[in-house]
Structure 1
Amino acid sequence: MPAKEKDGLAVIVVGLDGSTPAKNASAWAAGMARREKARLVLVYVEPLLAPGGWAGVGAETAGETTVSIMVEMRLDAARYLDPVGVKWSVVHHRGDPARGLEAIAAEFEADCVVVGRSRAGGGKLGSVPKTLIADAKRPVVVVP
């Protein structure tokens, strides 16, 4: 990708997993992308299941679920982002969510990563935001 041509944010990566905090994060990121005239990269990181976990779900069913999630993400992006002029991309990645978000952010040369706050019990940050913050290569915004 070419060097940045503008001051401010050019690319914002946001992690989505269907949770309420992730939806809040995507709304915050979309508003920021609109104000900054930045590209918004919506990322679904599909966690890898151990083969033993396939028995209950089935590999084919898990794949169908991922396709369904990606279709819904694209439809929602078109519905909410196109009318306000936000440029967007939807990306699917498989693996560890924190490492996947960072890998996509590096690929798109993102200026920041936005995630929802996940709870690990006792009010502590969940593992994805905690890992992103600990290993940050760029600013990380955690939205409640």
Structure 2
Amino acid sequence: MDSEGIPAPVMIALEARAAGNSWKQSAEIAGVAVTSLREWRKHAIVRDTLNEMVRDKLAGATATLVDATPLLAKELISLAMDSRNKPYSRVNAMALVFQTVATHLIDQSQQEQMAELKQQLERLEAGAPIDV
């Protein structure tokens, strides 16, 4: 059992499930009956543990994608700029480059606006006058 009282085979099944296996596959990997695993899934601590495992997997996948972003951007630009590629491929790559830049600029602008609103809200809560 782990520190939360979840038996090791159930933890193995949860890890398998968080890795993308079905509940049946996860039970087989852990060597537990799928009916037993269904009973364990009713416990809040088991659901919370599984949710945490899934969040950890997603965070790891996101970090991997972020790390690859500069290389992907260079590859996308080279596809768009290479005249040996078919025109439709180049146009699609160019459109994606512009879309990505536009999305980034919009996100940046929204973050700045949110920061401004947060400052105004803090001043309002403190009783200070607000510039309109």
TM-score above 0.5, yes or no: no
Whose helix fraction is larger, Structure 1's or Structure 2's?
Answer: 2
**TM-score normalised to structure 2 length:** 0.26
**TM-score normalised to structure 1 length:** 0.24
Higher gyration radius (CA)? 2
Whose strand fraction is larger, Structure 1's or Structure 2's?
Answer: 1
- Structure scoring higher RCO (CA < 8 A, sep ≥ 6) equals 1
